[in-house]
Amino acid sequence: MKRPTWRKYKFLRLGLILVLTGFVSGGSPKAPIVGNNQLTRPNIVFLIADDWSYPHAGAYGDQTVRTPTFDYLSKMGVLFENAFCAAPSCSPSRASILLGRYPHQLESAGNLWSVIPDKYQNWVSLLKESGYHTGKSRKGWGPGDYKKGGYKHNPAGEDYPDFNTFLEAKEKHQPFVYWFGSQDPHRAYETNTGAKSGMDVNNVIVHGFLPNNPCVRNDIMDYYSEVERFDHESGNIIELLRKKGLMEQTLIVMTSDNGMPFPRAKATLYDYGTRMPLAMYWQGHIEGGKRITSFMNFIDFAPTFLEAAHLEIGEGFSGNSLLTLFDEKHQKTNRDRVFLERERHANVRKGDLSYPSRAVRTKDFLYIKNFEPYRWPAGDPKVHQSVGQFGDVDNSISKFLIMAMEHRATDKDYYKLAFGKRPAEEFYVLSKDPFNLHNEIGNPRYTEIIKTMRKDLSHWMKSTDDLRATEPNTDYWDKVLYTPDYQFDSFDLKEKIDSYKMLVRDGGGFKEMECIP
């Protein structure tokens, strides 16, 4: 993956451009333009990364990754502290964004590599029918088969090579919906891009579920490097909006589909798999500089965009409009918790079996119910499909180093945390365990809280017609999967680790360093 040459100097240049153009100027937001009648309906620009976790942005206090675009939207709009994807996997998360329903309500689309049925209302399609110009660039819904589900093109919109081409295709006063789906920071990474961009490996904060190893730090920096590229490209889109005089009538959302591609993050219901960065901007409608602590689930995007466009929100949606958080006139919705889920991520178990789980997350606690605790949560250890052993964890030096730690004495059992089987129930106290490492399910101090959360989860599952509630041993999702042919991918663990060459600063240049588990 070749890196653009602008990386080293992009932040200085971008900051200068923004200051000179007034893009980052302060002041109160202006009222929206109300000229042509259609312009009273906002344009919508949806910027979505691929595998980016909270809190990896400057606006959240991260001192290493540089995200001037996200930080700007947070300053001039609102920053969400408790935004959660509906499922920690690309296809079901994106399906829930588009269709406004929980993954278990979407048939096959509740899985990765699935079919997305066109019988469910799609906010992009509804806005197109109401007169909007719609389209996307790069990754929309997927991976999966949308044609088999009845769509003629990707459910996120027809494809355009870039934002400028998209704008040139619309009518003069036509409102628009544009979906920019970056492939960053999805793996695989070009090793050492973070170090070469000027990041300091010593400043990287290593998450508690990963070993504090120099090569793991380097891997995190390469992840950060791709977050920065997504931020830069999103900034180019916003700059084009400004140049064309469209900022004042555009609702902008910047977020991610699921968590970072590291062990015990992506494809799990722990916070680093489900808790997302989210900033929203809409002049005249969203007061700038606010930090919202109320909980939101990605199923809330669909009703939000429909209400913003003055369209009726049908009964087929499970979410609630976020506009209630921005306007005191709206009736408030209880937002003190979210419900999360996962079925199958990759094809990593014999028989294509899933790892079904459901969870409820509040400000203080996370409760998870695992329906098949005898299965390997990260994939079978001896099945080399999809991305290899423990295939629900993307291959990386971080993964390989943890695999090599099996049966070794370490400060934590990283191997078990990443790959080991999990009990039927998990309970985490977030104030003292932000990385969700210590299961307190058997602690009598929390007995009543656990009972309440268990009851809340059960009620939610039944009220949303979740088959896991009425038929807990159902094989429904294992039967409705769309499964492509995978190539077998065996690998030599030692060779993978030995071939990774980390660069460390040495005077004015770099020198190679080997990785040691």
* pLDDT the model gives residue 385: 46
Stretch 269-296: mean pLDDT, rounded?
A: 96
* pLDDT the model gives residue 1: 39
- At 18, which amino acid appears? L
Does 21 have pLDDT greater than 80? Answer: no
Stretch 168-197: mean pLDDT, rounded?
A: 97
* pLDDT the model gives residue 478: 62
Does 480 have pLDDT greater than 70? Answer: no
* pLDDT the model gives residue 490: 65
pLDDT tens for residues 483-492? 554 445 567 8
Alpha carbon 95 to its chain's center: 12
Q: Give me the residue spans of the domains in the chain.
A: 37-339, 340-467+489-493
pLDDT classification of 383: cutoffs 50, 70, 90: low
- Contacts of residue 222, defined as CB under 8 A and 6 or more positions apart, other chains included, come to 189, 190, 191, 192, 193, 194
Measure the CA–CA gap between 51 and 340, rounded to whole angstroms.
17
Stretch 359-386: mean pLDDT, rounded?
A: 89
* pLDDT the model gives residue 348: 84
- Asked if the 37-339 domain carries CATH number 3.40.1550.10, the reply is no
Establish whether the linkage from the previous residue to 143 is cis, with ω within 30° of 0.
yes
Stretch 444-457: mean pLDDT, rounded?
A: 98
Output the CA angle 364-368-373, nearest 5 degrees.
155
pLDDT classification of 18: cutoffs 50, 70, 90: very low
pLDDT tens for residues 49-84? 999 999 999 999 999 999 999 999 999 999 999 999
Stretch 168-174: mean pLDDT, rounded?
A: 96
Please say whether the beta carbons of 330 and 97 come within 8 A: no
Share of the chain above pLDDT 70, in %: 87
pLDDT classification of 482: cutoffs 50, 70, 90: low
Does 440 have pLDDT greater than 70? Answer: yes
Please say whether the beta carbons of 469 and 454 come within 8 A: no
Measure the CA–CA gap between 345 and 476, rounded to whole angstroms.
15
Rounded to the nearest integer, the mean pLDDT of the chain is 89
Does 319 have pLDDT greater than 90? Answer: yes
Sheet containing strand 425-429, strands side by side: 337-342, 357-362, 365-370, 425-429
Question: Range with the lowest mean pLDDT among 221-230, 237-246, 462-471?
Answer: 462-471
* pLDDT the model gives residue 388: 65
pLDDT tens for residues 364-377? 999 999 999 999 99
Tokens of 132: 């909007």
